[in-house]
Chains A and B, each alone.
Chain A
Amino acid sequence: MSVASGQLPAPLLEVQNLRVSLNTTRGPAEALRGVSFSLQRGQTLGLIGESGCGKSITALALMGLLPEGAQVSGTLRLDGRDLLALGEDDWCRLRGNRLAMVFQEPMTALNPLHPIGRQIAEPLRLHKGLDAGAARAEALRLLQRVQLPQAAQRLDAYPHQLSGGQRQRVVIAIALACGPDVLIADEPTTALDVTIQREVLDLIALLVAEDGMALLLISHDLGVMAENVQRMLVMYGGAVVESGPTEAVFARLAHPYTRGLFAARPRLGLPRGHRLATIPGRVPELIDLPAGCGFAERCTLAQPACRSAAPPLLAVAPEHHARCIRLDASLAASLGASPDAALVATVGAL
């Protein structure tokens, strides 16, 4: 598991300055304000942020599933091929075939009226042209691969006959059916219990490692990020505010928002009555985003310059960037509030 650097072939997935504007009842809202990243085969990348930060819109843009009337600009390339120029027919050939997605809520992602075997077979028949018998046999193999107990008997089961964790395994089987190059998992475990969450995340990691897929994992949970991805992007207000190798981001917490997110998280081992550090204010609506730094209104380090122009992405270290003009002050503050102090307490407690 090494972080990619230096001379590498053209990335599998390349996103440059992706901008998305959505039509709302109150006029156009800038949902993404220039998101850039790239992903190689076998790499894992995490997207973290709170509701309304643009992480799900990023996933939908990658899948060509943005709502009607969305304005998209920038570059989106898969193996060098420009996806934004594709027509719907071409998208249909890619989706579920080379790009696959695991959704948050398995109950709504599955069709309640069809047996699960048929739902897994559907992409195989559409994209690979398998006949009914071959698709069914392949569906069974996939169900065994995602470790659904008693897979053979369950091919003809309906989604309501399965538990939440089992349903999510079925959704993963559908996503894997055609051997995709990129797997996008949008909050795949938010609807599941912690023990099941761990099983499902471990399963995804195992499958990604076995097949050499690229994984884009979207979550609001810092713990999920820490354990499952090599690199991470922190999003706020439609922009990437910090990006880098997971370990570097956690070690430095360079952006004030990343630091705030970390401090606000309840952790095992805090003393009873401990007051959590809060980020004042609330997540801004995309339509009301200020001209300058989107986080300035909630930031204790903000200066007038923060509000006048959108901050550039500055290098914290090689491969580690943060979008903050008060980077020095922010890094100093993070040193004082190092997560390691809290962490040592947690480890000690266990």
Chain B
Amino acid sequence: MSALLQVDGLVKHYRLPRQRLLTAAPLVQALQGVSFSLRAGRSLGVVGESGSGKSTLARLVMALESPTAGSVRLAGRDLHTLDAAALRRARADLQMVFQDPFGSLDPRQTVGRIVAEPLAAQGSTPRAEQLDRAAAMLDAVGLRASDVSKYPHEFSGGQRQRIAIARALVTHPKLIVADEPVSALDVSVQAQVLNLMQDLQDKLGVTYLFISHDLAVVDLVCDELIVLYQGRVVEQGTPEQLFIAAAHPYTRALISAVPRAHPAAQADAARRLRAVVQAAAAAAVAAEAESPSGAGCAFAPRCRWAQPICLQAAPALRPLGDGQAAACHRAEEVLADRHAGAAESASISP
């Protein structure tokens, strides 16, 4: 089965305003060669810290910006080489759900018009039919069809996110890019929206590119994950592979940083307190001492596995079997250290 979404060698640089008149403007390398593919009906999670390039990736996949290099293919067509009219038609297959359900809905439009807007923009659906489709979609996401005449302020945060999902689904898209869709919601409401997104995938077969900083959320929703660090994919695999046997030290650091809802963790937390705080401070100092333009692995200054080679050559993403891949010179050793790694995690989890 061929991929619905094929991303190859995606690079994006942003030029910042120059600091002084005669110096060159500084360059931010937001993405430095990201490749992955996603099959129809599956979910790919993108995790990473802020500044790792997650949102840049979302904007490039949505063709809201052009890449510096590389391509994004949706069902075989390169989105960034299409002309404006063709891109507009292609957008019917491509919708987005944003993080903030308060900022992403126009407060002066009725919910019916908001949900029908992608149809209006496509221009291929008769006006009378647009509202009916919007009403049907509201029903599908668990709201009432009669809500079409209401305004966004009449809804709670979770309901607004349902409206945003209805808007994304109304053109029957193949791919939905969800950028932190539940991180602005309360825990009890977040669960409702996550369940809804899973139900819709089962029912409609949509494909999700799911961007989140919350590992537990992507673990629940996604078939596959990629971990971004400073604009590069450092590891990819299934959630089980990454959460049980991560081969990249950064993935392990991310997982062990998730707070566990069990108070036994507290005593351990206190025990390792000083060590962790001091290590973090030392790492931060080391990170600044290393030049960021260095040729080595971007994570090396923070990595307890780092060796001289890590500072000299950037590791490539290498397959490790079973679809798992990691960009680490010492991936095999990290993997082989599974038991030590488990002990390490266990000492900070219950």
Contacts and interface: CB of A to CB of B under 8 A. Distances in A.
Interface of A: 1, 50-51, 147, 149-150, 164, 193-199, 201-203, 205-206, 209, 220-230, 246-247, 250, 260-262, 264-270, 272-279, 282-283, 339, 343, 346-347, 349-350
A241 to B, nearest CB: 14
Contact of A350 (B223, B239, B243, B253): B243
Contacts of B215: 194, 268
Contact of A276 (B49, B195, B240): B195
Given A267-B216, A269-B219, A278-B188, A223 B259 contact: yes
A220 B274 contact: no
B194 A266 contact: yes
Interface residues of B, number: 59
Interface in B243-271: 243-244, 253-255, 257-267, 269-270
Interface string B49-64: 1100000000000000
Contacts, number: 170
B342 interface: yes
Nearest to A223: B259
Nearest to A261: B187
Contact of B220 (A150, A226, A270): A270
Contacts of B159: 282
Given A194-B258, A347-B350, A350-B342, A226 B288 contact: no
10 contacts: A147-B280, A206-B277, A223-B258, A227-B266, A262-B261, A265-B261, A268-B243, A269-B219, A269-B243, A273-B198
Given A1-B270, A194-B254, A202-B269, A265 B259 contact: no
Given A206-B274, A269-B219, A228 B189 contact: no
Contacts of A198: 257, 259, 276
A339 B265 CA distance: 14
Nearest to B199: A275
Contacts of A347: 346, 349-350
Contact of B263 (A51, A201, A226, A272): A226
B77 interface: no
Given A206-B273, A227-B260, A350-B346, 9 more contacts: A196-B49, A199-B276, A205-B270, A206-B274, A227-B263, A262-B261, A269-B243, A276-B191, A350-B255
Contacts of B274: 206
Q: Which 4 pairs show the lowest CB-CB distances between chains A and B? A: A223-B259, A276-B191, A264-B191, A50-B186
A246 B266 contact: yes
Nearest to A349: B244
A197 B243 contact: no
A195 B253 contact: yes
A194 B240 CA distance: 20
B45 to A, nearest CB: 11
Contacts of B264: 247
A277 B220 CA distance: 13
Contacts of A283: 156, 186, 188-189
A220 B262 contact: no
Contacts of B223: 272
Contacts of A203: 277
Given A147-B277, A147-B280, A276 B220 contact: yes
Contacts of A229: 266
B29 interface: no
Given A149-B284, A339-B262, A278 B192 contact: yes
B190 interface: yes
Output the residue of A150, A197, A206, A278 with the most chain B CB within 10 A. A278
A222 B188 CA distance: 12
B260 A266 contact: no
A194 B252 CA distance: 12
